[in-house]
Amino acid sequence: MAQPVDTGTIDLEEEKEQILRRYRGLLRSMQGERTPENTRLIRKAFNIALEAHKDQRRKSGEPYIYHPIAVARICAEEIGLGVTSLVAALLHDTVEDTDLTLEDVRDLFGDTVATIIDGLTKISGVNWHTDSMQAENFRKILLTLAQDVRVILIKLADRLHNMRTLESMSREKQLKIASETLFLYAPLAHRLGLYSIKSELEDLSLRAKEPEVYHDIEHRLKKGESVRKRFISRFILPIRQALEKENFDFEIKGRPKSIYSIWQKMQTKHVTFEEVYDLFAIRIIVDSKPELEKADCWKVYSIVTDFYQPSPDRLRDWISMPKANGYESLHTTVMSPGGKWVEVQIRSRRMDQVAEMGLAAHYRYKGEEEHVQAMDGMLNKIREMLSDPGTNALDFVQDFKFNLFTDVIMAFTPKGEMRSLPMGSTALDFAFDIHSQIGRHCIGAKVNHKLVAMSHVLRNGDQVEVITSRKQQPKEEWLNYVVTARARHKIKQALREQKRKLASVGRETVHRMLRTWGAKMNEANINTLVEHFLATSPTDLYWKIARGRHDLQAMPQPPVKNGRLILPKGVRATDERPLEEIVSEIRGSKGGTFTIGDDVQSMNYQLSPCCHPIPGDDVFGFITPEGIRIHRVNCPNAVQLMSNFAMRIVKARWTGKDSVEFLAGIQFSGIDAVGLVNRITTIISQENNVNMRSISFESKDGIFEGKVMAYVHDAEHLHALVEKLRGVPEVKRVERVDH
């Protein structure tokens, strides 16, 4: 942040000279041909920034203008951005920290620069005190990224310079900024293919958070540097000679692993520094014509493996199938004569520039505006995630991190079209990736010509044929089968549509009955019905009436006075002890109640698979590291959980879940008879409008046993179905089962 100026002991003339030297360094760092017009624009932006920040200093005591010049230089040298971005970088703090307004910037430099600076201003000053605040700010940052990727590229440059000058901050600020960098900015740099920046951000974060660990690894790397150099020289000697013989124009370098990645490997593999075998990688960069890049890289691979035995499990071909962020390279791990595994990376000069500077390196080959359009593939994924207004910030963070930060797999359609999906994606994710309607009607898939369920997890290289049925509609359970943001968004959208359609049918019924009773169709009368039937909202009332939960035609004619409906408020049954009382007794306190439903925005919960609770069941919440698990009070594990883990039990109640379907099991037995199976399936599928997932019958010595897994809306819906089945004369026993 800017500090008040104190010029008592400062050599102002020396500072002016230093500012000019840094400005000239920025001009020299500009990529490509520098035109007079470009130089004029940069000079204009520099002069305005210099004037705006003239009375401000950084925490270190330096003139504030050093910072925007440094950010612009990172944009030019390390990311390869063009003149528009450099102008925005020089001015990025002016609107927030000085008297310059956004309209001033727009008048001086046009709409594009103003839009970028507006985005940068919106996402500065992020506070990360709580998870939800952190998530909200994360979403805000991604909103700006979806508009123009240059916003986030300049923000990354800004963050990198702040991390390089972190020493002047207090320890508390250092920890906060370093944590924020690891949580958000380093993964973003990785996703954009900016590997050098990503590695430096991680290293600088580790240095701030755990300085002793950082300096220890740094010292060990320096200590072994001479040995490592001798080893690399011996290792590459035969490769170098063979490449020269083949007339390759090439460069070979030994690249040590970043300190953060070494530390991470020590943590995840539980090994010491000495046991991390791949402390460095050999990189071979060949100068190739575009049409010969792939062939040349494979020729180099062939030469390397002529001298050293490769590990067949460690070949990574990102030339044939580049990563989503544009990374192209051929990686192999070979055994050296000394018995050490060595990673060898083979790439062309162009691939190396993309690997180091990300997709932004394409500025060297295309115009800046063209490049921004080339990023649309990734931005469209982000826009999809942002398009669901119902997604809360924490869910959004999880979706974004999973969909854009995880590794990807490649799957193929029957016609050979390649689709890129996050690792862990299912056949249902694949269906929604093809088209939302194909996803909605998916009933299964053929993976490599073998029939699988829609929940089948795909592997790299799978060929997937989606099987659909026009009768199929999305169900709540599907949310457990998908991992991509697109699929989750489309399923939730379909579930909301289903509720709206049913509610419209219920609304017509209510309006018709109000006319029949002689009551006015107004909000007051609708609210009277809502209170009478204990609905949570008019939409909830309409939905319940459409589902047959309330029969208005069977009601006695209610009194109507001056068009106003007169009905008593509904009273909830008190014949059973409420869950709140049971849990309060267990906890010995009157804490708040955890609410399960669509309006829950702040807590992650799951329905426990050991008892499959559905709305209407008496339930309690059990706190786990992954979130809250919802169990039925009569769950087989309930007694053990309540007695041994009382402090982790929370009260829970249902709300807002009537619009979805839950899987429940019913088991029945009785006397076998002709046509019995047909009668039972008719009752289940037609009379109660229930969707069956599976049904099985077994008959032996005149006695039958059956089991059906069906989708119901709540405990009352299930109870009605059980009573209908009990009405069949041959059926002697009907009971609910948990699986």
Place of tokens 């003339």: 13
- 443 vs 422: CA distance, rounded Å: 21
Helix 149-164 vs helix 111-122: crossing angle, to nearest 10: 50
The answer to whether residue 136 is catalytic is: no
**Residue 40, both tokens:** 């004029």
Mention every residue, 6+ apart, whose C-beta is less than 8 A from residue 729.
none
Q: Are 50 and 68 in contact (CB under 8 A)?
A: no
Q: Which long-range contacts (CB under 8 A, 24 or more apart) does 683-687 make?
A: 683/721, 683/724, 683/725, 683/728, 684/708, 684/710, 684/721, 684/725, 687/724
- 48 vs 70: CA distance, rounded Å: 16
Q: Where are the beta strands (DSSP E) in 328-395?
A: 330-335, 341-348
- 589 vs 584: CA distance, rounded Å: 5
**Residue 706, both tokens:** 């059956």
Label each residue of 237-259 as H, E or C: HHHHHHHHHCCCCEEEEEEECCH
- 67 vs 168: CA distance, rounded Å: 14
Nearest in space to 605 (alpha carbons), one of 630, 587, 582, 638: 630
CA 494 and chain centroid, separation = 21
- 155 vs 134: CA distance, rounded Å: 17
Backbone angles phi, psi at 375, to 5 degrees: -85, -5
Residue 632's H or E segment, with its range, is strand 627-632
For CA atoms 624, 626, 628, 633, give the dihedral sign.
negative
Q: Which of 15, 62, 96, 716 is catalytic?
A: 96
Question: ∠296-300-306 over CA atoms, to 5°?
Answer: 145
Which residues are registered as beta bridge partners of 628?
Answer: 605, 623
Q: Which of 15, 55, 77, 97 is catalytic?
A: 97
The answer to whether residue 249 is catalytic is: no
- 283 vs 303: CA distance, rounded Å: 14
- 676 vs 75: CA distance, rounded Å: 75
Report the length, in residues, of the chain: 739
Q: What is the DSSP letter of 274?
A: G
Where helices occur in 605-686 by DSSP H, the ranges are: 638-644, 676-682
Label each residue of 280-337 as H, E or C: EEEEEEECCCHHHHHHHHHHHHHHHHHHCEECHHHCEECCCCCCCCCCCCEEEEEECC
So which residues are the catalytic ones? 96-97
